[in-house]
């Protein structure tokens, strides 16, 4: 049975940074000290008006493919973990597949909210281990800023936008060692965006404004998350055959510094082994863990032979964790021609998409004329 090994990684965040002080200036009833002391967050990035989830996802994916030395046409499957898709349909993954020029790849979205990336990583690894795919692109991307009530300080101070991606490749050496996923739908009302689906219908009128916003029961989510992230991590550590002291690095979902500290305490690992970048990005939902992984790699905290645990929780209530062994050398830098290759691949993907649309239009015109005749 082949192993699923991470061979490429990339991240992207919007250009606009929103600091705690900026929120105060916007009229949010809060302060920098209040936010930082309770969450550990000092800034987050928010997407522009013309910047969709797929835009962030494509840029992160391009970086991951370049680093892995893989052409888009070599990818077998694209999984996009998101709860903020460009559209209800088609899937955001299909839009990413088209813009990358990954003409041989299947594509689908996975929605487990903030736990989505680790869910998708587990699914992608399973495809490789079963022999149904050799290369799977796994992306976590979200723009929760568009669903925030900027007068509700209990939620608007927490979330940011971004995307992160990894390329999984079939390998003879161990990669993903174990994974677990779970859900408890009885707590679905604790973290949700009510409008936008079939439960709250339009019926000729717009849904109530309050139903468009993210709502969260913070205290209950906090208590549940500190328990479930630790339990999920413990489960994959045990099932992978590792001992807790063999874990080199834990990368939890970057939701709240206090939750991460409580998780580390429950796991019995030192805070030095728990990576955190929530200070600079806030909670980027499904993008949280891949962005943190990219930054941990960039900081020199990941090297061949390391055992890494990713653990997450999200709306649903959902949770997921993965234990993996890192067996890839981290390059000092990308080749000089990498930006040129990225631009060329993007241009070719755009041309291919345009030609496909034109081909369909011509074929439709011919068929209509033949039918009339």
Query: Annotated active-site positions, please?
Result: 114, 253, 283
How many other β-carbons are positioned within 10 Å of the β-carbon of residue 342? 16
| Residue 181: other Cβ atoms inside 10 A | 17
Helix (H) or strand (E) holding 335: none
Query: For residues 100 and 160, is the Cβ–Cβ distance under 8 A?
Result: no
> Could you give the CA distance from residue 113 to residue 141 in angstroms, rounded to a whole number?
10
Q: How far is CA 170 from CA 109, 133, 152, in A?
A: 22, 8, 45
- Helix H or strand E segment including 361: helix 338-372
Query: And the tokens for 200?
Result: 């709250």
**C-alpha–C-alpha distance, residues 141 and 126, integer Å:** 21
In sequence order, the 6+-apart residues with CB closer than 8 A to the CB of 352 are: 101, 103
Q: Where are the alpha helices (DSSP H) in 182-317?
A: 218-239, 257-267, 278-281, 288-298
């Amino acid at each position: 049975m082949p192993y699923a090994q991470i061979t490429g990684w990339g991240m992207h965040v919007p250009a606009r940074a929103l600091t705690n002080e900026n929120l105060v200036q916007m009229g949010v009833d809060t302060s920098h000290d209040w936010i930082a002391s309770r969450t550990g967050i000092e800034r987050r990035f928010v997407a522009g008006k013309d910047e969709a989830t797929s835009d962030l996802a494509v840029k992160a994916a391009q970086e991951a493919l370049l680093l892995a030395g893989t052409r888009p046409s070599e990818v077998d499957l694209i999984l996009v973990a998101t709860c903020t898709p460009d559209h209800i349909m088609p899937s955001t993954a299909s839009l990413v597949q088209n813009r990358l020029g990954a003409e041989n790849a299947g594509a689908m979205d996975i929605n487990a909210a903030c736990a989505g990336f680790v869910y998708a990583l587990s699914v992608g690894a399973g495809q490789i281990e079963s022999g149904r795919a050799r290369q799977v692109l796994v992306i976590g991307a979200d723009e929760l800023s568009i669903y925030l009530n900027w007068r509700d300080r209990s939620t608007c101070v927490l979330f940011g936008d971004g995307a992160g991606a990894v390329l999984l490749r079939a390998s003879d050496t161990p990669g993903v060692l174990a994974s677990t996923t779970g859900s408890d739908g009885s707590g679905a009302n604790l973290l949700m965006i009510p409008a936008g689906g079939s439960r709250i219908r339009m019926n000729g009128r717009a849904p109530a404004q309050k139903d468009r916003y993210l709502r969260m029961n913070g205290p209950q989510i906090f208590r549940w998350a500190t328990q479930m992230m630790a339990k999920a991590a413990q489960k994959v550590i045990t099932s992978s055959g590792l001992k807790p002291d063999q874990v080199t690095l834990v990368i939890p979902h970057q939701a709240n510094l206090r939750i991460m500290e409580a998780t580390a305490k429950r796991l019995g690992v030192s805070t030095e082994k728990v990576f955190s970048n929530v200070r600079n990005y806030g909670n980027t939902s499904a993008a949280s863990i891949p962005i943190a992984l990219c930054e941990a790699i960039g900081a020199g905290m990941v090297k061949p032979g390391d055992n890494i645990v990713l653990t997450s929780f999200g709306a649903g209530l959902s949770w997921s964790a993965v234990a993996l062994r890192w067996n890839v050398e981290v390059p000092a830098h990308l080749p000089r021609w990498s930006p040129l290759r990225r631009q060329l691949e993007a241009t070719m993907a755009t041309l291919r998409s345009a030609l496909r649309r034109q081909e369909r239009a011509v074929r439709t015109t011919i068929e209509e004329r033949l039918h009339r005749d």
